[in-house]
Structure 1
Amino acid sequence: MQMSEQRIYVRFSEEADAAELTAMYKRNRELFEKFSPSNLEEYYTEEHQLQKIITSKADMMEDRRYSFVVCHKEGDRIIGSIGLSFVVRGPLQSCMIGFDLDQAYNGKGYMTEAVKQAVRYAFDELKFHRIVGEASPRNPGSIRVLEKAGFHKEGISRSNVKINGEWEDHQVLAIINPSEDI
């Protein structure tokens, strides 16, 4: 069975992406900060994004975090980002997935495709056993993305993340590596 042609692809972030990422975060700041902790003003500078990318390469080498950009095949433009963070090895072999998508591309299935690609990489290449995702119940789109990518609801983390000065609950979802080779 052949899958339909992918409309997006996921790749590791590069130094040359700093300006495009900065522009995406600036365009979407109001939306992203509704559901995520607010960032300092410096976050929205090209210098900060460049430093994040440089740090992400060291993080990958140290098996701490993996940072990807989501690119639309048409025009090779960056439309989002995905991170695999909170890496724990040993008996857990787990990480957490987080993502941002330019609001101009919401509701088209792009992030679901991207999450599936990142999950495949996490399971096949990084050999994780379990990936956790969390999303605000006020953000049903992100919960839907995770569910469509194969994650299952596990429960609610009460008073989990401080967003805009308020402690908020988060829906916890997870996916287990179906491979028996782990």
Structure 2
Amino acid sequence: ALLAYHLANRAHLRPWEPARSDAFYTAASTEERLAAMEASAAAGQAVHLLLFDRTDDSLVGTCNFTNIVRGAFQACHLGFSVAQDREGRGLMRECLLAATHFMFAEHGLHRIMANHRPENTRSARLLSSLGFEREGTARAYLKIDGSWADHVLTSLINPADA
């Protein structure tokens, strides 16, 4: 399902993700990524969620909480994507409402950070609607689709800690 999702959305996700070689879009590479995801989750460093359509069980989105840091920080990074043919239906908003609550309530995190490119207005609107607050802009923050790109930095604080 994950390989089919990436193949079907290759062009759609290209402007928002690191450059991907053709090898990324193979079963072997997908199996390696799934094993790495399982290992990072088992180590308490990440939570990886896949969003499936209720009617046909097709994979329609991904949601990843990574770089989980404990101690005084109690925070993580959020990354997400939704299939091009499912944009604008509220699926990712529904997913992220439940997922951020889960990370706060079940994992005890204080802060979830999500970064997006300034031109990604869909992500900006979605994050804002969920209560993420803009904290600034990081210049040349991540190498996306082969070029260093600025990113808007946002965060959501656990309401129980506010």
Question: TM bucket by the smaller chain?
Answer: over 0.9
Q: CA deviation at 1:34?
A: 0.8
* Aligned partner of residue 92 in structure 1, secondary structure: coil
Who is 2:118 aligned against? 137
Deviations 1:105-135 (CA, angstroms, capped at 9, x unpaired) = 0011111111112101110111110000000
Q: CA deviation at 1:51?
A: 2.1
Separation of aligned partners in 1, 2:47 and 2:130: 19
Deviates more, 1:86-95 or 1:27-36: 27-36
Who is 1:73 aligned against? 54
TM-score by length of structure 2 reads 0.94
TM-score by length of structure 1 reads 0.84
Unaligned runs of 5+ in 2: none
The one-letter code of the counterpart of 1:63 is G
1:170 corresponds, among 133, 139, 151, to 151
Q: CA deviation at 1:73?
A: 1.5
Deviates more, 1:67-76 or 1:78-87: 67-76
Unaligned runs of 5+ in 1: 1-19
Separation of aligned partners in 1, 2:73 and 2:132: 17
Separation of aligned partners in 1, 2:81 and 2:64: 9
Separation of aligned partners in 2, 1:164 and 1:54: 24
Separation of aligned partners in 1, 2:35 and 2:94: 26
Q: CA deviation at 1:64?
A: 1.2
1:156·1:171 contact (CA, 8 Å) conserved in 2?
Answer: yes
Change in 2 beyond 3 A, CA 1:75/1:164: closer
Separation of aligned partners in 1, 2:27 and 2:146: 26
Separation of aligned partners in 2, 1:39 and 1:148: 30
Who is 1:125 aligned against? 106
Who is 2:129 aligned against? 148
1:93 corresponds, among 66, 74, 78, to 74
2:2 corresponds, among 9, 12, 21, to 21
The one-letter code of the counterpart of 1:67 is H
Percent identity, please. Answer: 29
CA RMSD of aligned residues (A): 1.5
